Amino acid sequence: MKSVRSESVPVRDKVSRARAELAAALVERDAEVDVVLTALLAGEHVLLVGPPGCGKSLLLDGLLAWAGGRKFSVLLTRFTTPEEVLGPVSLAGLKEDRYVRVTAGKLPEADLAFLDEVLRGSSAVLNCLLKLLNERTFDAGDGVVKKVPLKLCVGAANDWPEPDTGKELSALLDRFTLRKTVAPIRTAAGRQRLLWARDHTPTFSTTVTAAELDDARRAAAAVPWSNDAKEALEQVLRELAREGVHPGDRRQFKTVGVVRAFAYLCGADAVRPEHLEVAQHCLWDDPAGEPEKVAQVIAKVANPCGMRVAQLLLEVEGVLGATDARNLADAARAAAKLGEVERQLAALPAGPRAEAARGYVRDQLKRLKLASLDAV
Ligand SMILES: Nc1ncnc2c1ncn2[C@@H]1O[C@H](COP(=O)(O)OP(=O)(O)O)[C@@H](O)[C@H]1O
Ligand SMILES: [Mg+2]
């Protein structure tokens, strides 16, 4: 990965460049890029769940390549031992009748960790992880509980745990403050980019040191909440309770910091209702059905632009998927619908996501018209 001397670039600009560079390299992963960068800035762990080959590792490896600090990555299987994650037991220690782990290069010494297939770990490994991720402390075996430097753990998994798969997995799921499902590429244009771009590896124009990230975290934690945003969050929680979704107190409190980090990522100097968009990845416990409810409630209460763009794009895909461009009446109906979506996108506050979506809809309109001309 290419990087340039970047000492003179302020950290906030570095973050926003990395956001753009990751989103440009990966196809249809803008939301995931925002989620992982928000997690990095909030110092909260993040889990991405999606089918094999949908770009999770590409994104998470890219993030770790860009961010400075000591790193640890592991692919967990049922056979991975605690030694591989926490470090082997010291032989010298054993000779003196002491049981201590040598943690050099392992999770207890990492600033940033990537646990791939994290839900596959054995009970022994999951139990070790639970404590370390939650309390960010570790006892190497000598009875001294030390703070670990871990700032961010990113996890990936192929499936959400089945309901009733045991306490360990649901406890582990709870350690990740942000959790997002990663869907396969949806649009035809996205698929073209996936197929014909020669390389999807992100290229970064900057790197960022661990100290700079600490500065960014402090600045993000100091972003104030506007009164509107506070009211919106309270209303979201009330409506969720009415819908039977009750995120725990710790999760609610952590969400406040996560939304601050997202506002910082968006370049805002105060949290506004639209920044609640990111809270859809925090405010639920049960992956079956709750994430969708939370997203709907947030979309209704806080009306974030990003969520409206996503909804409109889904509509566009629905229309395109159901249209035979060679049937003129069909094509005309679809064109009218796309025109309407384009107008709605134009009415949204200006921003890169709305702009990109408008460009996409315009391109699709052109293709539709060309295809129907061909058919005549
Ligand atoms: N959304 C995407 N954008 C760009 N490349 C992708 C995307 N999804 C998959 N790929 C391609 O497929 C490869 C495998 O993806 P990977 O990150 O290993 O998947 P996962 O970790 O989700 O199983 C990537 O290296 C990339 O070439
Ligand atoms: Mg992977």
> Cα–Cα distance between 136 and 148 in angstroms, integer?
5
Closest ligand 1 atom, residue 51 Cα: 22
Q: Residues 52-104: pLDDT tens digits?
A: 999 999 999 999 999 999 999 999 999 999 999 999 999 998 898 888 999 99
- Does residue 23 line the site of ligand 1, with CB under 6 A? no
What is the 333 CA–ligand 1 centroid distance (Å)? 35
Q: Which residues have a beta carbon within 5 Å of ligand 2, which is an ion?
A: 57
- Does residue 282 line the site of ligand 1, with CB under 6 A? no
C-alpha to C-alpha distances, 229 to 41, 220, 286, nearest whole angstrom:
19, 16, 25
What is the 113 CA–ligand 2 centroid distance (Å)? 14
Q: Residues 113-172: pLDDT tens digits?
A: 999 999 999 999 999 999 899 999 999 888 889 999 999 999 999 999 887 777 888 889
Closest ligand 1 atom, residue 52 Cα: 23
Q: Residues 290-299: pLDDT tens digits?
A: 999 999 999 9
Is pLDDT above 60 for 8? Answer: yes
Dig out the tokens for 35 from the structure.
């989620």
Which of 298, 297, 310, 361 minimizes the C-alpha distance to 334?
361
- Does residue 56 line the site of ligand 1, with CB under 6 A? yes
The predicted pLDDT at position 5 comes to 57
What is the 301 CA–ligand 2 centroid distance (Å)? 35
* Pairing outcome for strands 71-75 and 178-181: unpaired
The reported pTM is 0.88
> Cα–Cα distance between 290 and 11 in angstroms, integer?
35
Q: Residues 183-207: pLDDT tens digits?
A: 999 887 788 889 998 899 999 999 9
> Cα–Cα distance between 372 and 162 in angstroms, integer?
47
> Cα–Cα distance between 347 and 321 in angstroms, integer?
25
